Structure 1
Amino acid sequence: MRILHIVDRMDPKAGGVCQAIRMIIESLKHRNVESDVVSVDDPKMRFQDDFKILAFGPAENPWQYSKKLLPWLICNLGNYDTVIIHGLWQYYSFATYKALKERNGEKPVVFVMPHGMLDPYFQNAPDRKLKAIRNKIYWQIIERHVINGCDALLFTCKTELDLAKLPFKPYKPKIEKVIGLGIKAPPRCTTSMVNAFYDKTGLTNSDDFLLFLGRINRKKGLDLLVKAFLQLLDNIQMPKLVIAGPGINSDFGLEIINLIKTRPELKSYFIFPGMLTGDLKWGAFYACEAFILPSHQENFGIATVEALACRKPVLISNQVNIHNEIVAFEAGLVEEDNLEGVLNLLSKWMIISNKNKEMMTYNAEKCFKELFQYQSIANKIIELNNSMNEKYFEYSVEG
């Protein structure tokens, strides 16, 4: 079986979708499924992956248009059993739809994996009013044909599936399937990992800290987190806050820095080590007290699952789509994605007994092992693909 994954970016700095693709490919590899990726990255860029990435960029325009992409798809889609379009609203999903229409030969099974891009948040957020209007127009002209014309929509969790039904009409996918998402078990904690993280940040093993790991972006609720920290530091002794991720030099990142500058005496509580990968990232997870993500919208939250896998409780908003699973396993705390909610997250964490925190660490690992290990993803994709092929075979025989 051979699968083609189509996406805009595979650069790890681009966010969670490319990391989700890597996990899916890793899962499929263990079932002897070959995967290639088509993107519009700059072909000069090199990523440390053991699968083929065909880059048709750089596409440095808002629609991510690449004139090289469509001709290649028309010629090569027939070489694959299955195509998975990862994400929406960019040229690559339209190009795939158009290539399938123009092909005369054999066509693969086509799945679309929205990765949260049908979430109502993106139509309702106050700072996205123009983009929301654009999306409504784009839906009517292009995207509804992609969604309603593919063989199945694939979702990471049931909450994502339920939310996807709300913002756009007509919404009539042929099949909706939750395939989940998960990660490979992390490497075991070593002294060198933790020490590498301490060397990077200047922290020591006597420093308690909470970990925010993700893009420094307004959607992640980081401004609420910093405001809540500053407010609580006036009254109680708090751990430090490590804010790890790309984007500190963005306009929003500078907002965060300026917010902290209003209280210069508290500056030492905030650590900005930049984007952490490899041993540095795992050292951060293993050394922290807990992971925190007060996001306004999080389709899945890969970093949340990585924290669980490292036996760390997670403090998240109810806009992280796997929050119901966290509550069910008592693997962390969940609150609203507003300042009051973040204050509640932090305040509740500070008064939880050590015994209950230890129980949360046990529950975090249990939650990961039972729900978020990556092996089952490949099984669900293969089973769905086989069922599609059986339907086509029955149709051709009856015809």
Structure 2
Amino acid sequence: MKILHLLASVDPRAGGPVEGVRRSGMAMQEAGHEIEVATCDAPGEAYLAAFPFPVHSFGPVKGRYGYSPRLTPWLAANAKHFDAVVVHGLWQYHGFGTWKALRRSEVPYYVYTHGMLDPWFKEAYPLKHLKKWLYWPWADYRVLRDARAVIFTTEEERTRSRQSFWLYRAHERIVPFGTTVPELDAARVREAFLQAVPGLEGKRIVLFLGRVHAKKGCDLLIDAFARVAGRDPALHLVIAGPDETGWAPALRAQAQAAGIADRLTLPGMLQGDLKWGAFHASDVFVLPSHQENFGVAVAEALGCGLPALISDKVNVWREIDEDGAGLVASDTVDGTEKNLLRWLDLDNAARDAMRAQARRTFHSRFRIETMVGALTALLESKGVDAGDTRRAPLTSLRKTAAERG
């Protein structure tokens, strides 16, 4: 098959969806498929050359919506060269532009929502949600309605996605997400990380790795860490990742007020060996996110043998909890503290057992081969079977609302 992946941007700072396309695309190439990418990035961006597939760029865009006047005509003219088009993400023009180009085409398009329909956004940003309602009926609603399939990575994501807009129709499909963990010399990359980020030698590192964003609960982690730091003077908190909103100074001030400024490191975005070195140098991975569709870093941490202490708003929490590959609590300071305390209270044997289970969970649930097999089967299918959910039942939505009170 020849597959076109369409993203608003392939900037690695965009996080999981970009990394997911890169990893799954490479695996599909190895299986004999052809992969190309279209994006609304401006030509000439340095990261475009580093992306491992042919990239068609249609920027620069106009406004935050990412309007690109060249995208839709190009898709309409070139879609016939592809067997399938896969759109990643909502709320920007690349999805609506795809719908305009392909809604009457014989070339099917598919949509990964990547958690962007989670009702948390409605509750956390009500004014933004109202703005989305203004163009939902004529834009993204149609994008989902007419897609060959709308792809969710977990049943949790699919169920929650039905709660954001009462006007909702979709051919729903679940394709488990997966990633890869390279076979590296763990000691070498660990040392490279410790050399690049001084002051961590001999520390028991509590690692957060991801976008430094309010959604991720970094502020909860700082306060929770401050509560448990007295348990072991070797504990050290590392919050690593791109800071697109300029939140880092406030987090440093928060740590200063909590008395742990000297026990917090914010090294910025880590890539390549430094990222893997951070995993291999750490004792535990923490993600107290308020909303997380999957969390690529969760799977990567598990693959490196790191237990994952996560909130119950990370959509793979059931799998982590069921396997005992980490600990789960609420997305609050108290919940994050609870996870840390339970982990600290483990004896060495129990901690080693959890690390071993983390690797087993990665290999059994989150390997890239699992994702590629399911995605390939979906793209190669001729249509959507009769058992597919076309419309979220209104009765179930009313029941959900009643249960929430």
Same fold by TM-score, threshold 0.5 exceeded? yes
Q: How many residues align?
A: 383
Judge conservation of contact 2:286–2:308 (CA < 8 Å) in 1.
yes
Provide the residue aligned with 1:117 in structure 2: 116
CA distance in 1 between partners of 2:128 and 2:234 (Å)? 39
Which residue of the other structure, out of 356, 380, 385, is the alignment partner of 1:362? 356
Judge conservation of contact 2:180–2:300 (CA < 8 Å) in 1.
no
Provide the residue aligned with 1:7 in structure 2: 7
Code of the residue aligned with 2:75 in structure 1: it is L
Provide the residue aligned with 1:172 in structure 2: 169
**1:229 equivalenced with 2:231 (yes/no):** no
CA shift digits 1:344-370 (9 cap, x unpaired): 111111111111100101110000000
Provide the residue aligned with 1:395 in structure 2: none
CA spacing shift, 1:377–1:266, aligned 2, 3 Å: closer
Judge conservation of contact 1:211–1:243 (CA < 8 Å) in 2.
yes
Aligned 1:1-40 pairs, distance under 5 A: 1-40=1-40
**Unaligned segments of structure 1, at least 5 residues:** 392-399
CA shift digits 1:91-118 (9 cap, x unpaired): 11000101124x6xx5212111101111
Provide the residue aligned with 1:63 in structure 2: 65
CA distance in 2 between partners of 1:260 and 1:387 (Å)? 52
Judge conservation of contact 1:77–1:107 (CA < 8 Å) in 2.
no
Judge conservation of contact 1:24–1:181 (CA < 8 Å) in 2.
no
**1:303 equivalenced with 2:320 (yes/no):** no
**1:197 equivalenced with 2:196 (yes/no):** no
**SS of match in other structure, 1:233:** helix
Post-superposition shift, 1:379?
2.1
Provide the residue aligned with 1:240 in structure 2: 236
**SS of match in other structure, 2:137:** helix
Judge conservation of contact 1:109–1:388 (CA < 8 Å) in 2.
no
**SS of match in other structure, 1:337:** coil
CA distance in 2 between partners of 1:189 and 1:310 (Å)? 12
Provide the residue aligned with 2:87 in structure 1: 85
Judge conservation of contact 2:83–2:107 (CA < 8 Å) in 1.
yes
**Unaligned segments of structure 2, at least 5 residues:** 386-405
Provide the residue aligned with 1:396 in structure 2: none
Code of the residue aligned with 1:81 in structure 2: it is D
RMSD of aligned residue pairs (Cα, Å): 1.8
CA spacing shift, 1:180–1:72, aligned 2, 3 Å: same
- Report percent identity of matched pairs: 35
CA shift digits 1:240-284 (9 cap, x unpaired): 00111111x744222112112225x53221011111111111111
**1:340 equivalenced with 2:337 (yes/no):** no
**SS of match in other structure, 2:319:** helix
Code of the residue aligned with 1:67 in structure 2: it is P
Post-superposition shift, 1:237?
4.0
CA distance in 1 between partners of 2:227 and 2:181 (Å)? 37
Aligned 1:310-349 pairs, distance under 5 A: 310-349=304-343
CA distance in 2 between partners of 1:380 and 1:317 (Å)? 27
Provide the residue aligned with 2:143 in structure 1: 146
Provide the residue aligned with 1:283 in structure 2: 277
